[in-house]
Structure 1
């Protein structure tokens, strides 16, 4: 009997699951964006998925959804761009100080907001931002706060720049990889959260990361630190990610590596719902692009635009990967 069973096992063909076709992927992603419960909750938005050379699928979901070319405030999706700026200026050789700031472990955590026409330094030194003081209680621990990048920008020699000057400096550093016509602006001289751009322009940035045209592309996910105070209280102070999940933070971007639901993607969700990502294997990029202010101050994490966009975006990503729409 044992030999018969073994023979049957040997003779049985292995069932191979072929990769979904591009048409299957696109259809699954589109159905998910339009019909999935979590995506309906996040509508209206524009979504897109592509590879290192071009967009592969995308479209508008929900009534009055933005266009691919619609400029919008992207909040913390600006952080990924600033991380790339630093890596370009350092020619890929980040200092230990750079890493501490880009890991949000510098202790500059009294920061709140910039006024529209303040310079980088004037904002950092403002009364509302604690006069730019360092907080010894948070130094060396992850604390999600715009003050790290604000202070770092001053140290990089950008302190005198207002929003237009900051945007010009960032575009100049990234132009060799993205082109001189790449558009990225700031509504405030706030590197961590003042950016505004469109899905079309941000996708150029993501493709350059994937193709290693930007120095940060080779550094995605490196030296990532623990961010959840519930799982590493001595290493983390505050995270915007619901504490039911544990992500890590790399150089100005997240690593979605929660042991239960993570797939290792790199991302930088913004508070208003702009959610860009690159898959762990750097084969695909994607985004949910929208600007939604309602729910920002909600005590329920699921009401927050960033959390809602992540929930939707990763369902679209999963549907693209396996060709199966989510409902």
Structure 2
């Protein structure tokens, strides 16, 4: 549903990781007003909405994506959503791949309390623990438990001492954590993984057999994930104020980086279960947002000021890690158009 909004001017300072401090540019924070009747004509759209729609349909970064759904909102709810093409809407359920990581970590930190996390737990959450998947087989058979998923039939997670303390993007870190914490839980049914996730996060994510693969097996829609992002920016989670803590370099060639799928230009860091995006301004790297892109193209994002969220939902299962980067590039281009009121090429 499209909502019209009024503009509230405010400044936003980006909190930097690893001792770097800097402020991002001032941006508008849109506040949703009462629901207005939906319209389909160009005249019914604001200049900002029209710019976003034109960019989604015509931008070079969005053209290769096929059908998708994009939306932007704040702590009060959805501001504007665009279904491009047919078959994908806010309620379309799809596998979200690595976007699962942010949900699992949000639930884990919520259940434990950040102050109670050990150094070892934090290393499993920022991918420096040395636990690596030996097998990419998804744990999707009915009745499979987290413990079974960890074993040789599926993920076969092993400890590699030479990788302890180095960043290695891999689900094995989280899978080992889940083994120790919720090992008996299944994908669906009584005492499922998703029952536990939803109870911790206050969400209604659907169950699937592959939920036992906590780093990449969840399914959901933009509407499901929106609830998590809204609660995150409304400071309703333990993780809300911890989005930059325990972060480590995660870009190719970065210090102590063994493996990363990050392919965008510039630096990036990895916090507790999510990417920390940024840009270099006057020689200082500044946080611009937080995300958890999935390999099939599902891309959730929260800005550095934690007053705006964004989602791009699509599922292209023949792709790979590059699909997440494609979604990121398209989503950010649409966001720029929406905030400036000018369509982007």
TM-score range, shorter chain: 0.7 to 0.9
Report the equivalent of 1:319. Answer: 337
Q: Does 1:152 align with 2:174?
A: no
Report the equivalent of 1:103. Answer: 126
Cα 1:119–1:263, aligned 2, differ >3 Å: closer, same or farther? same
Q: Please list, as runs of the form range in 1=range in 2, the aligned pairs for 1:169-248 lying within 5 A after superposition.
A: 169-175=196-202, 178=203, 182-188=204-210, 189-232=212-255, 235-242=256-263, 244-248=265-269
Q: 1:166 aligns with which of 188, 193, 206?
A: 193
Give me the whole-angstrom Cα distance separating, in 2, the residues matched to 1:134 and 1:120: 17
Report the equivalent of 1:51. Answer: 74
Report the equivalent of 1:4. Answer: none
Give me the whole-angstrom Cα distance separating, in 2, the residues matched to 1:265 and 1:184: 27
Q: Please list, as runs of the form range in 1=range in 2, the aligned pairs for 1:284-299 lying within 5 A after superposition.
A: 284-296=308-320
Q: Does 1:305 align with 2:330?
A: no
Q: 1:253 aligns with which of 264, 274, 280?
A: 274
CA deviations over 1:255-305 (Å, ceiling 9, x no partner): 112437976210000000000100111121011100112332xxxx7xx32
Q: Please list, as runs of the form range in 1=range in 2, the aligned pairs for 1:56-95 lying within 5 A after superposition.
A: 56-62=79-85, 64-93=86-115, 94-95=117-118
Unaligned runs of 5+ in 2: 1-25, 32-45
* Contact 1:20/1:322 (<8 A) preserved: no
Q: Does 1:274 align with 2:298?
A: yes
* Contact 2:139/2:213 (<8 A) preserved: no
Report the equivalent of 2:12. Answer: none
DSSP 3-state at the match of 1:37:
coil
Give me the whole-angstrom Cα distance separating, in 2, the residues matched to 1:160 and 1:69: 30
Give me the whole-angstrom Cα distance separating, in 2, the residues matched to 1:134 and 1:229: 23
Q: Per-residue deviation at 1:217?
A: 1.0
* Contact 1:74/1:196 (<8 A) preserved: yes
TM-score by length of 1: 0.84
Q: Per-residue deviation at 1:207?
A: 0.3
CA deviations over 1:12-65 (Å, ceiling 9, x no partner): xxxxx9959883332222221121111111121001000011100012113x24
Report the equivalent of 2:11. Answer: none
Q: More helix per residue: 1 or 2?
A: 1
DSSP 3-state at the match of 1:171:
helix
Q: Per-residue deviation at 1:192?
A: 0.4
Give the length in aligned residue pairs: 295
CA deviations over 1:120-147 (Å, ceiling 9, x no partner): 11111225544x3201121111111111
Cα 1:223–1:43, aligned 2, differ >3 Å: closer, same or farther? same
Question: Pairwise CA RMSD of aligned residues?
Answer: 2.2
Cα 1:109–1:18, aligned 2, differ >3 Å: closer, same or farther? closer
